[in-house]
Amino acid sequence: MVKISKLSDEQLVDYIRGKDKEAYVEIVNRYKDRLVRYATYLTGDNDNASDAVQEAFIKAYINLNGFNTKKKFSSWIYRIVHNEAMNLLRRDNKELPMFKDVDFKSGVNLEEELIKKELQAHARHCLSQMPLIYREVLSLYFLEERSYEEISDILRIPIGTVGTRINRAKVLMKKICQKTKK
Amino acid sequence: MPKNKKITRSAADKADLGEKVMAKIRSGQVKMKPKWLFIAGSVLSLAGLIGLSVSAVFLINIVFFLLRKHGPMGHWRLELMLNSLPFWVPVAAIICLVGGIWLLKKYDFSYKKNFTLIVLGFIFSIIIAAWLVDAIGLNERLLKGGRMRRLYQQLEKQEETLPRGRGNGLYRKNIQK
């Protein structure tokens, strides 16, 4: 019997398509936290982010046969979530969402590390002030730890543009953070 | 609201999210699209792109054909051109080009490359292809025989008739004399 937890994402997709659609739950479990976190950075709202991710998982399942297993599944699913989040933003017509009280699950116990928490809150606040094009690259690169190539695949922009946007975003982030500290 | 309560709610939301998705799949409310649909989509898109490119080449080639066919009377050339040129040809060519470019943009690979270069290359290659078709005499062959004979003969006839603009009646009478 195949142990689905040991399969790579792409192998798992093949398995779901050919043998057991129930195995899709593994995909959902692997990605839901990071995708909700990413969508929250984009939309600035936890509920909207959950809706976007749920819709993205459904769309991904419907179009699973269209996924090319030679490519990275993570880029594909991030792309779908990105589109869903953009649709939500367009629908709500808010370009620069402000972060409300939002929880993020990470590997670190934030409650015990007060300083880190404050820093993170400050960084999040700065991030929320940034234009969307910079916010998306920054969150993908620094928070989701995606490579330039993956970001290029997710955002459908050339790799050179990814680099440029990240550099500009860093400068902008620094300015915003310094400004809000004062 | 206490922090731990919020974390519990957030975790419950995420678990709920997975359950909601799986419930829809299990109930058959959400179904996977069959593979042939994606294959057909890709084949049709590619065929559309090729078809649009060929149409653009063909239509621009007709413009070259008309430009070349106009007689040696230099001063009448522009007027003749403007009067006899089927304006739907360049319009349709531009529509075809825009359609082709749009399809190109939809393709996955386009964002990896310099898109401006792709667009310029696409337009340039279509014009070159149309000019080549004209230069190697394919127009003449199509005029003399082949499936497109009627269209080319019609275009040639149209070009031979005198301009229908103001005062051209007088010009026609003089010529007829």
Do A26 and A88 belong together in one domain?
yes
Q: Are B59 and B92 in contact (CB under 8 A)?
A: yes
Question: Within a domain: residue B26?
Answer: no
- List the pLDDT tens digit at each of the 177 positions of chain B: 444 444 445 555 666 888 888 898 888 888 888 888 888 877 777 777 777 777 777 777 777 776 666 555 545 555 665 566 666 766 776 776 677 667 666 665 556 666 677 778 878 888 888 888 777 777 666 666 655 666 666 666 655 554 444 444 444 444 444
Q: Is A80 exposed, middle or buried (0-12, 13-18, 19+ CB in 10 A)?
A: buried
Which residues lie below 8 Å from residue A140, measured CB to CB, with a gap of 6+? A38, A78, A146, A150, A151, A154, A155
Structural domain containing residue A48? 7-95
Question: Which among A71, A95, A119 is the end of a domain?
Answer: A95
Question: Within a domain: residue B7?
Answer: no
Measure CB to CB from residue A50 to each of B17, B41, B112 and give the nearest one: B17
SS (H, E, C) B36-73: HHHHHHHHHHHHHHHHHHHHHHHHHHHHHHHHHHCCCC
**What part of B 122-161 touches A (C-beta under 8 Å)?**
none
Structural domain containing residue B57? 53-164
Question: Within a domain: residue A28?
Answer: yes
Kindly identify which residue of chain A lies nearest to residue B34, measuring between CA atoms.
Answer: A65
Q: In 3-state terms, what secondary structure has residue A179?
A: helix
Q: What is the ipTM of this complex?
A: 0.70
Which residues lie below 8 Å from residue A34, measured CB to CB, with a gap of 6+? A144
Question: Within a domain: residue B158?
Answer: yes
Total count of domains within chain A: 2
Q: In 3-state terms, what secondary structure has residue B10?
A: helix
CATH (domain of A132): 1.10.10.10
Min Cα–Cα distance to chain B from A127, Å: 22
How far, CA to CA in Å, does A51 sit from each of A32, A78, B18?
11, 14, 11
Question: Within a domain: residue A37?
Answer: yes
Q: Are A88 and A51 in contact (CB under 8 A)?
A: yes
Which residues lie below 8 Å from residue B53, measured CB to CB, with a gap of 6+? B96, B100, B122, B126
Min Cα–Cα distance to chain A from B33, Å: 6
Q: In 3-state terms, what secondary structure has residue A10?
A: helix
User: Quick check: A65 and B3 CB within 8 A?
Assistant: no
CATH (domain of A35): 1.10.1740.10
User: Quick check: B30 and A63 CB within 8 A?
Assistant: no
Measure CB to CB from residue B22 to each of A28, A65, A152 and give the nearest one: A28
User: Quick check: B18 and A32 CB within 8 A?
Assistant: yes
Mutate to test the interface with A, among B14, B110, B114 (most CBs of A within 10 A): B14
Do A90 and A121 belong together in one domain?
no
Q: How far apart are the first and last CA of chain B?
A: 101
> CA–CA separation, B106 vs B114, rounded Å?
14
Question: Within a domain: residue A2?
Answer: no
pTM for the full predicted model = 0.65
Question: Within a domain: residue B64?
Answer: yes
Q: Phi and psi at residue A45, in whole multiples of 5°?
A: -145, 125
